[in-house]
């Protein structure tokens, strides 16, 4: 790997601060954040050290460190930090910075450092293109009965849709692979594959279970679980639809599918909508989690999930109420959101964090960074 040309630590930290790590220079390297964290308790890792890398502007070290991805926003460090540096926010900003470093196209950099307005403009343009494209694929303009694959000529849409999905996935995977290489994936492995898998799973289940017992931490886990489960169900249902469109067209009242569709959509709407509601709520007792800094990319990411969930939900409702014209309108909007989601958000925005997190956990488990026993 080529060494990065000299960049002033000021430039790097200016960017880190822009990405939300406001307290980066408050930190005096005491290690309290590491020592209070339930995750660091179970692993041989230091959150303090990555903060030092950033303070010193050691981009190469930062690129190679997988520790920020292991942070699970438990939030204990916020209280423990004697400098009020908010290590939780610093780590989130480091994750954003790292995902910029991993991306080879440079689009991530633009995505993370451009204003919200510019991001929304880009989304609207992509949306417009996809909606126009979709409408030009009309074969018939039926509005009086429901048949999605006649409304949009599925055989025509399918190859283009698949192409877009493929593009999205290959961008995502190429960045994921770069991350894997940067963090030295494949090297220094001491634990066998299945052992590592077992350890990482049991560790996460245990630590998240512990956290679930504490009311203060529950909401954060639930929000994430809602979004993740919603997305997985959604992908599954879409795949089913693409593979067996016949099921949908022939039997729109298939209850199992119907319930599945509703649940997935509601999960997405609730999981992604909660932070928005909390942010505008005037209540004094806002949970600490909702007071954390969220970057514009986070809002956009949540917005995407929320909009996909909402349009999916409306589509189901209109469909089941036999309001066909509205179903088609919402359907077009839905596709208009999914398209920029796949092209921009998944490979370059917040949603690639799921992949980076998984890789980081896998690599650290293979390296034997999971202690196997909890201190105490």
Partner 1 sequence: MSKPVLVIGGGISGIQATIDLAKHGVEVYLVERNPSIGGKMAQLDKTFPTLDCASCILTPKMAEVLRYNNIKLLTYSEVQEVKGNVGDFTVKILRKPRYVDWDKCTGCGTCTERCPVKVPDEYNVKLGQRKAIYIEYPQAVPRKALIDYSHCLRLNPPPDLKEKAKGKPLCGACEKVCPTKAIDYNQQPEIIELNVAAIILATGLELYDASNIPEYGYGKYQNVYTNLEFERIVSSTGPTNGNIIRRSDGKPPKRIAWIQCVGSRDVRFNHYCSAFCCMAATKQAILAKELLPEVDTTIYYMDMRAFGKGFYEFYKRAMTEFGVKYVRGKVVKITERQDNKNLLLFYEDTIHSYMKKDEFDMVVLSVAVRPNRITAAPVKTDKGGFIQIMDPYMDTVTSTTEGIFVIGGAAEARDIPDSVTMASSAAIKASTIAKKCVVEQTIITSGERA
Which residues make up the interface to ligand SF4 (CB under 6 A)? 27-33, 48, 51, 77, 80-83, 85, 87
Distance CA 298, CA 285 (A): 22
- CB of 81 or CB of 123, closer to ligand SF4: 81
Contact status: 1 vs partner 1 (CB under 8 A):
no
- 78 touching partner 1, by CB under 8 A: no
Shortest distance (Å) from residue 354 CB to ligand SF4: 25
| Residue 28 binds partner 1 (CB under 8 A) | yes
Could you tell me the smallest distance in angstroms from the CB atom of residue 91 to partner 1?
A: 15
- Based on the shown chain and the rule CB under 8 A, indicate whether residue 29 belongs to the binding site for partner 1: yes
> Please, which residue, 86 or 130, has the CB nearer to partner 1?
86
Asked if residue 84 binds partner 1 (CB under 8 A), the reply is yes
**Is the distance from CB of 262 to CB of 313 less than 8 angstroms?**
yes
Q: Which of 12, 15, 36, 318 binds partner 1 (CB under 8 A)?
A: 36
Beta carbon nearer to ligand SF4, 31 or 133: 31
| C-alpha radius of gyration, the chain, whole number | 22
74 binds partner 1 (CB under 8 A): no
Q: Using the minimum distance from each CB to ligand SF4, give the nearer residue, 30 or 333.
A: 30
Distance between alpha carbon 236 and the CA centroid of its chain, in Å?
A: 18
- Choose among partner 1, ligand SF4, none what residue 40 binds, the Cβ cut-off being 5 to 8 Å by kind: partner 1
Calculate the CA dihedral of residues 149, 150, 152, 154 and round it to 10 degrees: 40
Give the residue with the Cβ less far from partner 1, 39 or 123.
39
The residues facing 138 across adjacent strands are 152
Q: How far is the CB of 338 from partner 1 (least distance, A)?
A: 43
Q: Considering the complex, what minimum distance in angstroms separates the CB of residue 52 from partner 1?
A: 9
From the list 9, 18, 31, 147, which residue makes contact with partner 1 (rule: CB under 8 A)?
31
Min dist. Cβ of residue 182 to ligand SF4 (A): 24
Of residues 80, 263, 317, 329, which one binds partner 1 by CB under 8 A?
80
At closest approach, how far in Å is the CB of 236 from ligand SF4?
40
Q: Using alpha carbons only, give the angle 113, 357, 293 rounded to the nearest 5 degrees.
A: 45
Smaller CB distance to ligand SF4: residue 88 or 359? 88
Least Å distance between CB 360 and partner 1?
A: 16
Q: Which residues contact 306 (CB under 8 A, 6 or more apart)?
A: 268, 269, 272, 273, 276
Q: Is residue 184 near partner 1 by the rule CB under 8 A?
A: no
Stretch that binds partner 1, among 36-44, 144-152, 195-203, 259-267 (CB under 8 A): 36-44
Q: Does 82 bind partner 1 (CB under 8 A)?
A: yes
Assess 45 for contact with partner 1 (CB under 8 A). Answer: yes
Q: Which is nearer to partner 1, 256 or 375 (CB)?
A: 375
Residue 351 interface partner, choices ligand SF4, partner 1, none, CB cut-off 5-8 Å depending on type = none
Secondary structure string (H, E, C) spanning the chain: CCCCCCCCHHHHHHHHHHCCCCCCCCCCCCCHHHHHCHHHHHECCCHHHHHHHHHHCCHHHHHHCCHHHHCCCCCHHHHHCCCCCCHHHHHHHHHHHHHHHHCCCCHHHHHHHCCHHHHHHHHHHHHHHHHHHHHHCECCCCCCCCCHHHHECHHHHHHHHHHHHHHHHHHHHHHHHHHHHHCCCCCCCCCCHHHHHHHHHHHHHHHHHHHHHCHHHHHHHHHHHHHHHHHHHHHHHHHHHHHCHHHHHHCCCCHHHHHHHHHHHHHHHHHHHHHHHHHHCCCCCCCHHHHCCCCHHHHHHHHHHHHHHHHHHHHHHHHHCCCHHHHHHHHHHHHHHHHHHHHHHHHHCHHHHHHHHHHHHHHHHHCCCECCCCCC
Q: Is 326 in the site for partner 1 (CB under 8 A)?
A: no
35 binds partner 1 (CB under 8 A): yes
Question: Is the CB of 61 or the CB of 287 nearer to partner 1?
Answer: 61
Beta carbons of 260 and 237 less than 8 angstroms apart:
yes
> Footprint of partner 1 on this chain (CB under 8 A)?
28-37, 40-41, 43-46, 48-49, 80, 82-84, 375-376
């Amino acid at each position: 790997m080529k060494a990065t040309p000299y960049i002033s630590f000021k430039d790097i930290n200016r960017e880190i601060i822009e990405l939300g790590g406001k307290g980066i220079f408050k930190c005096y390297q005491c290690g309290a954040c590491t020592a209070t964290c339930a995750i660091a308790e179970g692993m041989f890792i230091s959150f303090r050290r990555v903060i030092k890398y950033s303070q010193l502007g050691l981009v190469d070290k930062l690129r190679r460190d997988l520790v920020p991805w292991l942070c699970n926003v438990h939030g204990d460090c916020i209280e423990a930090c004697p400098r009020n540096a908010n290590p939780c926010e610093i780590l989130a900003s480091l994750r954003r910075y790292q995902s910029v470093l991993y991306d080879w196209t440079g689009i991530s950099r633009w995505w993370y450092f451009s204003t919200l307005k510019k991001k929304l403009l880009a989304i609207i343009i992509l949306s417009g293109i996809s909606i126009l494209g979709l409408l030009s694929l009309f074969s018939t303009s039926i509005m009086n009965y429901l048949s999605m694959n006649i409304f949009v000529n599925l055989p025509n849409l399918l190859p283009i849709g698949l192409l877009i999905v493929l593009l999205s996935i290959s961008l995502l995977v190429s960045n994921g692979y770069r991350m894997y290489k940067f963090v030295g994936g494949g090297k220094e492995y001491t634990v066998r594959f299945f052992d590592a898998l077992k350890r990482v799973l049991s560790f996460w289940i245990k630590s998240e279970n512990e956290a679930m017992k504490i009311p203060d931490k529950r909401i954060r886990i639930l929000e994430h679980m809602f979004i993740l489960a919603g997305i997985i169900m959604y992908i599954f249902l879409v795949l089913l639809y693409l593979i067996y469109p016949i099921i949908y067209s022939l039997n729109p009242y298939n209850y199992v599918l119907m319930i599945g569709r509703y649940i997935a959509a509601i999960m997405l709407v609730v999981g992604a909508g909660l932070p928005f509601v909390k942010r505008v709520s005037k209540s004094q007792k806002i949970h600490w989690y909702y007071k954390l800094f969220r970057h514009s990319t986070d809002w956009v990411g949540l917005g995407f999930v929320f909009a996909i969930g909402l349009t999916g939900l409306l589509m189901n409702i209109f469909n089941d109420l036999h309001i066909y014209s509205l179903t088609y309108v919402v359907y077009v909007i839905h596709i208009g959101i999914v398209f920029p989601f796949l092209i921009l958000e998944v490979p370059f925005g917040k949603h690639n964090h799921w992949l980076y997190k998984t890789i980081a956990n896998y690599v650290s488990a293979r390296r034997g960074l999971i202690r196997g026993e909890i201190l105490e």
